[in-house]
Amino acid sequence: MTRKLIPVFLCLFLSLSGCKKKGAQSSQNGAQSNSSSSESAGGVVNQAEAQRLLDQGKEFYMNDRDQDAADAFRKATELDPDLAEAHYRLGLALDSLGQKQDADEAYKKAVEAYEKILRQNPKSAEAQFNLGQAYSRLGKYEEAVKAYKQAVKLQDDNADYYYELGIAHNKLAQYSEAVAALERATELDPDNFRASDALEKARIDLQRQQAIIKHQADELRRQEELKKNANNANSINSNLKQNPALAPAPSP
């Protein structure tokens, strides 16, 4: 009788052991799921707080509280390193504080963040424009022009985009292109006085550049003509030395 009961107890023990293992595994999976959910929720909270700090920093900046603005923008970038606008505005605030080197570092991070956005959404005109803004602040106007061109290509009716494109061209002494971009800006927004002023300046710069180019071309032609005349004179003198009979007779 006892021997018959042994297999029964053994099966019951194994069954209970299996249930415990399954329960433990289920609890572990549940813990992992809760952990992932917490991390995800934490990321959302950080992004929301970063956005709040960004908005707060903008308010500080508008009220000339540059140090407070810089502190808010810096905290925003720490909470959300991908928040490109926070990096860019941190650069603006630091520039206002005279901290040029730190400002440039912020602009470089803004470039990286905007480029990351564009890898995910290459058709974002706003991101292209903001990338151009960051490059302009770094003095990299060739890169800025490329970004602005993409921005106006994606959004052809934005006067601000054309204005910044014109300014960047002007920085590169590409006055003809600057005039074209600024003319487009004033067409789109006739009341944009800064675009009108920039257009007038670009036209003056273009006229001055064209005058310089013309003067250089005229001077080059004059030098070539003088050189040609000198060569002809040397050739004549050489022939006279070889053939004295060809020399004109002296006047009586």
pLDDT tens track for 219-234: 888 888 878 877 776 7
Q: What is the pLDDT of residue 239?
A: 67
pLDDT band at 115 (very low <50, low <70, confident <90, very high): very high
pLDDT in tens, 63-101: 999 999 999 999 999 999 999 999 999 999 999 999 999
pLDDT of residue 249: 56
- Chain position carrying tokens 């606008």: 85
Q: Residue 246 pLDDT more than 60?
A: no
Say yes or no to pLDDT of 137 above 90: yes
With beta carbons less than 8 A apart as the criterion, state whether 70 and 97 touch: yes
Q: What is the 3-state secondary structure (H, E, C) of the chain?
A: CHHHHHHHHHHHHHHHHHHHHHHHHHHHHHHHHHHHHHHHHHHHHHHHHHHHHHHHHHHHHHCCCHHHHHHHHHHHHHHCCCCHHHHHHHHHHHHHCCCHHHHHHHHHHHHHHHHHHHHHCCCCHHHHHHHHHHHHHCCCHHHHHHHHHHHHHHCCCCHHHHHHHHHHHHHCCCHHHHHHHHHHHHHHCCCCHHHHHHHHHHHHHHHHHHHHHHHHHHHHHHHHHHHHHHHHHHHHHHHHHHCHHHCCCCCC
> Using alpha carbons only, how large is the chain's radius of gyration in Å?
37
Which has more pLDDT, 104 or 37?
A: 104
Average pLDDT over residues 232-244: 68
pLDDT above 70 coverage of the chain, percent: 75
| Mean pLDDT computed over 106-115 | 98
Are 152 and 126 within 8 A, CB to CB?
no
The region of weakest confidence among 123-132, 156-165, 184-193, 231-240 is: 231-240
Average pLDDT in the 4-19 region?
Answer: 45
**Res 31 pLDDT > 50:** no
Q: What is the pLDDT of residue 95?
A: 97
Average confidence (pLDDT) over 22-49: 56
Going by pLDDT thresholds of 50, 70 and 90, the confidence category of residue 184 is very high
Q: What is the pLDDT of residue 114?
A: 98
Q: Percentage of the chain surpassing pLDDT 90?
A: 66
Domains belonging to the chain, first-starting first, are: 49-140 (1.25.40.10), 157-229 (1.25.40.10)
